[in-house]
Structure 1
Amino acid sequence: MRPSPDPAERLRRIHESPAYRLAYEDTELLNQDGLRPLRLQLELLKPERVLDQEGVHSTVVVFGSARVSDTETARARLTALEQHAGDTPAAAQAAHLARARVRQAQHYEQARRFAHLISARFQQQQRREFVVVTGGGPGIMEAANRGAFEAGARSVGLNITLPQEQGPNSYISPELAFRFHYFAIRKMHFLRRARGLVAFPGGYGTLDELFEVLTLIQTGKMPAIPVVLVGRAFWRRLIDFEHLVDEGYIAPADLDLFSIVDEAEEVIAALERFHAAHMAEQLPR
């Protein structure tokens, strides 16, 4: 292309050229494959700095299914389905799943109650301890963020970009709502300040997150924290932990890495027992 005789036009083209952008403003540059290490570093640094600035000293992480809902919503969906259901196999399957969602709503309510109890207790101080952290989406994540919100406390959401976009739930504190591209960095942030992990029933994502934490504790790659599984019937049917011991795949002592309970109050008691033994001074009364 021949140079323009007009100096103003030449300057306009310079200012609009991608080469002239400041490097940190050049999203095309930042999204190139070769800059993946920089993107990983930014996802590590940004939440860390914000959490420091917001005074979040320690957290308790809540995992669980994105598919459950509160009791009122689950019952309303079942009622609507029963009123308009046909006699097809698909309708029967939909009704079966809707009834399961009503039963599973108890886990939503327990997550909501747990988050309310622990947030009301520990966020009355200037230094925020045991701040609830979730994956920021619907289901159990929403329930835990909601419980903290209803206690007048703040909570964190670590959302992730997915092919089928998962938006944040509305109960996360806006200043503590983060979005990630990389699962690995998101997992690091779940544990950076964690003083407890509470896992409610869920699917592949929940199991992946739970067993990664148990593996890190088992192998000494992270300090021990209390891991509490909520829903005795679910966890004992899903995984025969004693069978793993009997077959020699884990040691008997590995069963002590977690506890299984049913109620929100039992979760609080499990956290208290652990921290009373390990760091009693961190549990103000």
Structure 2
Amino acid sequence: MHFAAVAYVGESTLDPLKYYHNITSNTLVVLEAMATHGVKTLIYSSTCATYGEPDKMPITESTTQVPINPYGKAKKMAEDIILDFHKNSNMAVMILRYFNVIGSDPEGRLGEAPRPELREHGRISGACFDAARGIIPGLKVRGTDYSTRDGTCIRDYIDVNDLVDAHVKALEKALPGKVGIYNVGTGKGRTVREFVDACMKATGAKIKVEFLERRPGDYAEVYSDPTKIREELNWTAKYTDLQQSLQTAWIWQKSHHNGYGVSSVYVSS
């Protein structure tokens, strides 16, 4: 299973070579190593960023891939390399295109801890938690005039525990000589306002929210059609309560103020 990759859209626009090297070149190295040592199964972490700005929702696996940033482009290049390599091998390949991942391990063992210098490029969940902890003065929401139910962007948030289950199901169904490509999402879009409201309830914090003009290149809504993964892998997202996923992640955040550098360990009751 190949998860390793830098994964911040904003950073990728500032340092594209880092992303092409880390994602695309290093995937090539992984494939070469697999070929050398006879490893015949690959489960690859990809992203919905490979689709770019689709004209039609929801996104299916047949939606045209036209990525608009170096992160998405690097991932699509890696996918193309994998598929080309597969043509002349008997390798089992599963490519999973993640949507917006949130949450933490309920037992407190794993959580998200981005490098401090990347906070401004991070995900909205990280920004919400930083605001709740007082690390930043508030949350900046970009875009309130989109043609959505409350004017803010819509995204498909997938809990990391469901993501783990998708990988297990993919491994179980991987067949020699076959390729499986699947979107991993809930199929439901949540607005940024809804996300922020859920984060406030999960943390119990009153987060100051500043609404700004939309950011160039952002699109109004992105959410998946999970029909294929449900029918072929018998997988369906179970952790779909947004507030509950954020509450689990918040427990980890409070127990790891310095990320993985902290010595305390959270133990579930």
TM-score, with structure 2 as normaliser: 0.28
TM-score, with structure 1 as normaliser: 0.27
- Asked which structure has the greater RCO (Cα within 8 Å, sep 6+), the reply is 2
Greater Rg, structure 1 or structure 2? 1
